Amino acid sequence: MTTRYFKLYEDMTDPERWLLGTPIDAEGQEAGSWLFMRGESAHVDGRLRVPIYHPGGALDFSLADTGGFPVVTQNVASVLSKMAPKDVQLFPVDVDSRPEPYFLVNVARTVKCIDEAASEEVQFWTLEDGQPERVGEYRVVAGMRIDPSKVGDAKVFRPWGWTVVIIVAEAIKEALERTGATGMKFAEVTGPLTGS
């Protein structure tokens, strides 16, 4: 039986939810998306602080820095550390005005697995786009589908060339759902596209 995989993203349906900003390091400098969205290990000196960009209801799973990377509660962090220790790094963070522990999740694994033929639309950067250093890289991936046979033992990862997305194996999805954690949504990225 083929393992199913799901895009993990933030549930934005609650208008009263909080929004988290860019993490700040001990020196007051921003530690932005570029550090935590590469799909590889990151190094951080000292503890990070995550400001609340827009006040509202706290969530167990939020994408900080305009959707770049997860900030999660202890329950979510425990699932990830137990089930995917080779795939994620967890950095303790202070979230403004919140006493409970939070963790920034760095997805430290990248897998070349996008099924270009099965995806709804895939576009590549070309010379005409004026960014020669990006020629051949993905410019657009809509209705993304992945090839499960290329994933190997990864349970949490970013797809190579399209690291704006986080993918989790079905077992991770189910374990996260069992925690009752708020703020998460899942969309399957295996099998044929459904609907339009």
* pLDDT tens digits, 170-182: 999 999 999 999 9
Q: Would you place residue 120 in the very low, low, confident or very high pLDDT band (cuts 50, 70, 90)?
A: very high
> Which two structure tokens, joined as six digits, stand for 176?
């996260």
Mean pLDDT of all residues belonging to the chain: 92
Which helix (H) or strand (E) covers residue 174, if one does?
A: helix 170-178
User: Counting every residue, how long is the chain?
Assistant: 196
Does residue 56 come out as left (phi exceeding 0), alpha (psi in the -120 to 50 range) or beta?
Answer: left
Q: Would you place residue 1 in the very low, low, confident or very high pLDDT band (cuts 50, 70, 90)?
A: low
Do 93 and 39 meet the contact criterion of CB atoms below 8 Å apart? no
- Answer yes or no: is pLDDT of 195 > 70: no
- The residue behind tokens 């998460």 is 184
pLDDT of residue 128: 92
* Distance (Å, whole) CA 10 – CA 182: 9
* Distance (Å, whole) CA 38 – CA 86: 15
Q: Would you place residue 111 in the very low, low, confident or very high pLDDT band (cuts 50, 70, 90)?
A: very high
* pLDDT tens digits, 93-108: 999 888 899 999 999 9
- Answer yes or no: is pLDDT of 142 > 90: yes
> Which two structure tokens, joined as six digits, stand for 97?
């005005």
Answer positive or negative: Cα dihedral of 129, 133, 136, 140: negative
CB neighbour list of residue 194: distance below 8 Å, 6 or more residues apart: none
Alpha helix (H) residue ranges in 19-143: 33-36, 64-67, 74-83
* pLDDT tens digits, 7-39: 999 999 988 899 999 999 888 888 877 789 889
pLDDT of residue 70: 95
